[in-house]
Structure 1
Amino acid sequence: MGENGRLAVRKTYKLFIGGAFPRSESGRSYPVTSAKGEFLANAARASRKDARDAVVAARKAFPGWSGATPYNRGQILYRAAEMMEGRRSQFIAEIVAADGVSQRRAGELVDAAVDRLVWYAGWPDKIGQVVGAANPVAGPYFNLSTPEPCGVVAIVAPPMGPLLGLVSVIAPVIATGNTCVVVASERAPLPAITLAEVLATSDLPGGVVNILTGRVAELAPWLAGHMDVNGIDLTGCPADLAVACEQQAAENLKRVLRPASEDWLAEPALTRMTAFLETKTVWHPIGI
């Protein structure tokens, strides 16, 4: 009961799959608490079936997203950053509750997340010039190497930095034309679901980003072993679980980005974009 006599509206957050917000097929949820141990909301506890559905949605979205012009992908990422800016106060409140930081500090982290998305929005139409090449060959041929997205990427989001860290692992994957299935921070999933609401109301096509909440230990190995997942970012996996996921990923030769200590406020590099790119080399005869 609130101070004004109203009953609090307890919210149960849902998953984000294929541009929609379904409940977990298992019907499970788990309580999300603040840094002080206070109840905040219930979050859906995704199952393996939910993970499979998310992979199907990501695969369905891949041809259209990878086939879009890089300039258009950059425009869409920038639009998402605009939408994030519009919900700044909500993100700040969620980070204050999740991490127990001050309003000022939370504001700095939200601003950094928006700026990070803007930074990656500038790269889709430039990454090809930076990592591609025209290769000299001995013969009457042009030899061109160009980067291409590898496909569907599973991402285990970092447990800390529930917004800045989340944006820092999603943006480079989708900026380069991949689609993704994200396991949100188990500890603090609410900023991830709010980000999903932002993406759902921006111009991002459904299925490009799919967000699951729940137990990392339950979902990560399943995604690592999924034969229609082409790469996996293990940033948010504890060391022992990461090893098990790498073993699962070896079954279909997934690209694997191993977990490492990250300073999310540090200047980003190209590493996270190139980790899930493949290089296509084309030979073309020189006409006479």
Structure 2
Amino acid sequence: MSQADARLSVLKTYKLYVGGKFPRSESGRVYEVTAAKSAGGAAGRGRWLANAPRASRKDARDAVAAARKAVAGWSGATAYNRGQVLYRVAEMLQGRREQYTAEVADAEGLSKAKSAAQVDAAIDRWVWYAGWTDKVAQVAGAGNPVAGPYFNLSAPEPTGVVAVVAPQESALLGLVSVLAPVIATGNAAVVVAAEERPLPALSLAEVLATSDVPGGVVNVLSGRTAEIAPTLAAHQDVNAIDLTGADAELARELEVAAADNLKRVLRPSADPGGTDWTADPGTGRLTAFLETKTVWHPTGSLGVAGSAY
């Protein structure tokens, strides 16, 4: 046996991502993640990939606390700065393209070529949302005509802490498509990764941690969706929830829990065929978690310097 054959593989240890750090689950629990049934043909079917941390309700509460702490600084940053930060994430995703191609292939049972196309689309999607950070105010804001000597201006503001139930069927492109617009508009996110395909999401956390995204702006939890999501839906310090990755029964349960503190809710797609994540995303998700602030200001010269302009 050669020395190379005698080496033990250095297996990757996946962890949660909370507050810019990588803790193990508070409960110490893990669960097995295996390759998709079509990955690698018959030889690769059901192949063990890793033990992913199984987040507890305590982990979910810790993630919300971290997100709340990060909201003020992130929402207070200039839109241009947020765009630069998001673009840096895309740069780093591009640098790890081969890693993500392999992870998506295992997670979704795709060929290398199809997996690479998914990764490229995810990178492009991140760049697309990075470009929207300093433009969404022009789309969602307005100067409103009023009957009186006033300026009446409406401007978008972030909702706050947004819980995101990531798509179950699209481990990277779908995840990026729901996460990027949340943080592009100044919100902080707590993400529940796809239950059976969490590894691309947990690896994305490594990119976020080594880019310029402040700790707590994005928090990533893996585990049983039906265990973690209800805690987030009922949490009084979560302002909104995206139910994209919840099935119909769980979505109804989460929506009822979210009503307790009047959370803004984005319902899952009603299309039985699922969401086409490769389609043009439009601006719907950019405006889904924005509030509108309207300001009145008198026109004319009222003794206030510059009040007419």
Fold-level similarity (TM above 0.5): yes
Structure 1 residue aligned with 2:149: 140
Please list, as runs of the form range in 1=range in 2, the aligned pairs for 1:118-157 lying within 5 A after superposition. 118-157=127-166
2:149 aligned partner, one-letter code: P
1:264 to 259, 277, 286: 277
Alignment partners' CA distance in 1, 2:242 and 2:15: 23
The one-character-per-residue Cα deviations of 1:265-286 (angstroms, maximum 9, x if unpaired) are 0011111111100000000111
How do 1:174-189 residues align onto structure 2 when only pairs under 5 Å count?
174-189=183-198
Mapping of 1:223-242 within 5 angstroms? 223-242=232-251
TM-score, scaled to structure 2: 0.91
**Inter-partner Cα distance in structure 1 for 2:61 and 2:256:** 19
Is the 1:12–1:44 Cα contact (8 Å) retained in structure 2? Answer: no
Q: Summarize the Cα distance change of 1:3–1:188 in structure 2 as closer, same or farther, 3 Å threshold.
A: farther
1:287 aligns with 2:300: yes
Which sections of structure 2, spanning at least 5 residues, go unmatched?
A: 37-44, 302-309
> Stretches of 4+ moved more than 6 A in 1?
none
| TM-score scaled by length of structure 1 | 0.98
Whole-Å Cα distance in 2 between the matches of residues 4 and 89 of structure 1? 24
Q: Tell me if the contact between 1:158 and 1:166 (Cα under 8 Å) persists in the aligned partners.
A: yes
User: Which whole-Å CA distance do the structure 1 matches of 2:48 and 2:202 have between them?
Assistant: 17
Contact 1:11 1:42 in 2 (8 A): no
How far apart in 2 are the matches of 1:211 and 1:143? 40
Matches within 5 A, 1:150-229: 150-229=159-238
Please tell me the residue identity of whatever aligns with 2:187. Answer: N
Aligned to 2:49: 40
Report the Cα offset of residue 175 of structure 1.
Answer: 0.3
What's the % identity of the aligned pairs?
69
Aligned to 1:245: 254
Equivalent residues of 1:43, 1:189 under 8 A apart: yes
State the alpha-carbon separation in 1 of the partners of residues 104 and 159 from structure 2. 33
Question: Residue deviations 1:62-114, cap 9 Å, x none?
Answer: 00000000000000000000000000000001011112211111110000000
Post-superposition offset of 1:262 = 1.1
Structure 1 residues 197-253: Cα deviation after superposition (integer angstroms, max 9, x where no partner): 000000000000000000000011110000000000000001100000000000000
In structure 1, give the amino acid aligned to 2:185: T
RMSD: 1.2
Q: Structure 1 residue 276 and structure 2 residue 289: aligned?
A: yes
In 2, the alpha carbon distance for the partners of 1:94 and 1:238 equals 24
Quote the offset at 1:3 in angstroms: 7.5
Query: Is there any run of 5+ residues in structure 1 with no aligned partner, and where?
Result: none
Partner SS state of residue 120, structure 2: helix
